[in-house]
Amino acid sequence: MTVRYVSTRGQAPELGFADVLLAGLASDGGLYVPSHWPTLPPLSTVSYADLAAAVMGPFVDGEIDEVAFGPMCHEAYSTFRHPAIVPVVEIGPDEWVMELFHGPTLAFKDVALQLVGRLFDHLLTARGERVMIVGATSGDTGSAAIDGVRRCDNVDIVILYPQGRVSDVQRRQMTTVDAPNVHTVAIEGTFDDCQDLVKAMFNDVAFRGEMNLSAVNSINWARVMAQVVYYVAAWKALEDRPLSFSVPTGNFGNVLAGWIAREMGVPTHSLIVASNTNDILTRFFESRAMVTDDVVPTLSPSMDIQVSSNFERLLFEMNDRDAGATAEQMAWFRTSGRMSVEADQYANWIEPVFRAARSDDADTLATMAAVYGESGMLIDPHTAVGVSAARRRREAGVPVVTMATAHPAKFPDAVEKATGVRPALPEHLSDLLERPERTTSLPNDLGRVQAFVRSVARR
Ligand SMILES: *Cc1c(COP(=O)(O)O)cnc(C)c1O
């Protein structure tokens, strides 16, 4: 049965995969989810790219030609610099990490965005269309999005970042990409200013239409879909044993993919939701209430979020797919900054699967030091939040796999502080700090930014 997609808020048209990919957010403000969860197809021992094509097959069936999809997966994962693509490494008794950071920009977002860029280009070519992707970044997302589309003929991309507020490595991963469709802008302002500029561009209907604006943010269904694959790969790598996962979490996209893999048939004991001090999810799992709070900066900046936007997809399931109820809860959450679920919803959906834990910066540093002392392995601060949660919440006798979401060299200061060792960039990036940068500085001014976007659009 071909998978169609419905909005979690029920007021947007049902769409096929291609339209869902290009739309991102549903027109009613909701998130698209498949009309049903397919079961895993029979899986043979194959390469990661073949596994990816098989696991995602049901989600793109009827919309992307099988003959094109397989090669697209192969191309996307040929950019990874490890023969296993996402190797599983043992760090203790029945304790593993899955290294998701061997892609071009050294963070797990490459797993989704290398494929999403190729999907965009394929569909836009077929339709004879072009898009202009605009986005704001505080670090990892911008570089992964840029790398995902740098070879796309039908996609231009402009990424805004706050001047002087992203790390050298993160900035250079964006500004040293030499491609005619890639543009970065240093905004004289904060990350919030950058986000507001992006929102304002989308809200300017005339500009949005003129540029055919698009986004590849973490609520895009295709990103979640691509992440389901590595949960299946972890299960296969550990010889089909039931297992638990610990997932460093921000927007809830990664751990949601684990939940979907479980729905599709991966035998999963628990999904451990690991947060840093920005612990809205941990507090939800403790109290059944989701309450926003101010964001505080931590050593794991990619998890410094106020609201976990992908949680809405799980909420929709908890409401037995009642879109009206979900829309009401989200509206209430938006105005009041809080919402809660009933005890029976919690007992049915959360208790059997989810565990949660938080780590402050001291615990993050201690975990990096402990893992280095035990195994000689350097882990990044996000991964450390995951390992710490795994060690506190795992069940005896069940293998636990922590998702390693970033390469340690992406956060060298924190790693050095914890272990005394400064991790080196992998070879393909070793000259990053010498490469010429190309970027534009602009004031926090919508008119100036829109003029820039117009000037670089390849029409
Ligand atoms: C984006 C990111 C996360 C959080 O992932 P979500 O899907 O938003 O939960 C964790 N670690 C790193 C390194 C990231 O870049």
Looking at ligand 1, which atom is closest to the CA of residue 253?
Answer: 7
For residue 190, being part of any structural domain is answered with no
For residue 400, being part of any structural domain is answered with yes
Looking at ligand 1, which atom is closest to the CA of residue 406?
Answer: 13
For residue 246, being part of any structural domain is answered with yes
Q: Which of 251, 312, 403 to mutate to test the pocket of ligand 1 (most atoms within 8 A of CB)?
A: 251
Whether the CB-CB separation of 364 and 381 falls below 8 Å is answered with yes
- In degrees, rounded to 5, the angle at the alpha carbon of residue 42 between the alpha carbons of residues 37 and 43 is 110
CA of 410 to the centre of ligand 1 (A): 13
For residue 137, being part of any structural domain is answered with no
CA of 209 to the centre of ligand 1 (A): 31
Nearest residue by C-alpha to atom 2 in ligand 1: 302
Q: Which residues line ligand 1 (CB under 6 A)?
A: 107, 109, 140, 218, 248-254, 302-303, 382, 405-406
Place of tokens 């990424």: 159
Q: Which of 271, 382, 385, 415 to mutate to test the pocket of ligand 1 (most atoms within 8 A of CB)?
A: 382
CA of 117 to the centre of ligand 1 (A): 19
Looking at ligand 1, which atom is closest to the CA of residue 252?
Answer: 9
Looking at ligand 1, which atom is closest to the CA of residue 255?
Answer: 9
CA of 311 to the centre of ligand 1 (A): 14
Count up the domains in the chain and report the number. 1
Pairing verdict, β 5-7 and 32-34: antiparallel
pTM of the model: 0.95
Q: Which residues are marked as active site?
A: 109
Looking at ligand 1, which atom is closest to the CA of residue 251?
Answer: 8
pLDDT of the chain along its 459 residues, tens only?
A: 689 999 999 999 999 999 999 988 898 989 999 999 999 998 887 899 999 999 999 999 999 999 999 999 999 999 999 999 999 999 999 999 999 999 999 999 999 999 999 999 999 999 999 999 999 988 788 999 999 999 999 999 999 999 988 888 889 999 999 999 999 999 999 888 998 899 899 889 999 999 999 888 888 999 999 999 999 999 999 987 899 999 999 999 999 999 999 999 999 999 999 999 999 999 999 999 999 998 899 999 999 888 888 999 999 999 999 999 999 999 999 999 999 999 999 999 999 999 999 999 999 999 999 999 999 999 999 999 999 999 999 999 999 999 999 999 999 999 999 999 999 999 989 999 999 999 999 999 999 999 999 999 987
Nearest residue by C-alpha to atom 14 in ligand 1: 302
For residue 32, being part of any structural domain is answered with no
Report how far residue 305's alpha carbon sits from residue 279's, in angstroms, rounded to the nearest whole number. 9
Nearest residue by C-alpha to atom 1 in ligand 1: 302
Q: List the CATH number of the domain containing 384.
A: 3.40.50.1100
CA of 64 to the centre of ligand 1 (A): 28
Place of tokens 């991964």: 383
For residue 334, being part of any structural domain is answered with yes
For residue 365, being part of any structural domain is answered with yes
- In degrees, rounded to 5, the angle at the alpha carbon of residue 154 between the alpha carbons of residues 151 and 156 is 75
Nearest residue by C-alpha to atom 4 in ligand 1: 250
Please write down the HEC assignment for all residues of the chain.
CCCCEEECCCCCCCECHHHHHHHCCCCCCCCEEECCCCCCCCCCCCCHHHHHHHHHHHHHCCCCCHHHHHHHHHHHHCCCCCCCCCCEEEEECCEEEEECCCCCCCECHHHHHHHHHHHHHHHHHHHCCCEEEEEECCCHHHHHHHHHHCCCCCEEEEEEEECCCCCHHHHHHHHCCCCCCEEEEEEECCHHHHHHHHHHHHHCHHHHHHHCEECCCCCCHHHHHHHHHHHHHHHHHCCCCCEEEEEECCCCHHHHHHHHHHHHCCCEEEEEEEECCCCHHHHHHHHCEEECCCCCCCCCHHHCCCCCCCHHHHHHHHCCCCHHHHHHHHHHHHHHCEEECCHHHHHHHHCCCEEEEECCHHHHHHHHHHHHHHHCCCCCHHHHHHHHHHHHHCCCCCCEEEEECECHHHCHHHHHHHHCCCCCCCHHHCCHHHCCCCCEEEECCHHHHHHHHHHHCCC
Q: Check residue 24 and give its pLDDT.
A: 87
Residue 440 neighbours by CB distance under 10 Å: 15
For residue 3, being part of any structural domain is answered with no
CA of 62 to the centre of ligand 1 (A): 31
Q: Check residue 319 and give its pLDDT.
A: 96
Query: Exposed, middle or buried, 392 (CB in 10 Å: 0-12/13-18/19+)?
Result: middle
Token pair of 73 as six digits: 């997966």
Domain that holds residue 353: 88-107+222-419
